[in-house]
Amino acid sequence: MVLAAGLGKRMAPITNTIPKPLVKVAGKPLIDWGLDALEKAGVERAIVNTHYLADQMDVHLAERKAPAILVSDERDELLDSAGGIVKALAQIGTEPFYVVNADTFWIDGARPNLVLLAEGWDDARMDMLLMIATKDQSTGYDGRGDFHMSTEGRLSRLGPGETSPYIYAGAAILHPRIFAGAPAGKASLNRYFDEAIAADRLYGLSMDGLWLTVGTPAAIGDAEAAIALQEKNG
SS3 label, residue 11: helix
Beta-carbon contacts of residue 113 (< 8 Å; ≥ 6 apart): 37, 106, 131, 171, 207, 208, 209
| pLDDT the model gives residue 141 | 83
Indicate the CATH number for domain 2-233. 3.90.550.10
* One-letter identity of residue 144: R
Is a pLDDT exceeding 80 seen at residue 88? yes
| pLDDT the model gives residue 139 | 82
Contact, 208 vs 136, CB < 8 A?
no
| pLDDT the model gives residue 50 | 96
Mean pLDDT value of segment 199-207: 98
| pLDDT the model gives residue 232 | 74
- Percent of the chain at pLDDT above 90? 84
Q: Mind listing the pLDDT tens digit for each residue in 54-77? A: 999 999 999 999 999 999 999 999
| pLDDT the model gives residue 234 | 62
| pLDDT the model gives residue 123 | 97
**Helical (H) or strand (E) element with 35:** helix 30-40
Reported pTM: 0.94
Cα atoms in the 13 Å half-sphere on the side-chain side of 67 = 23
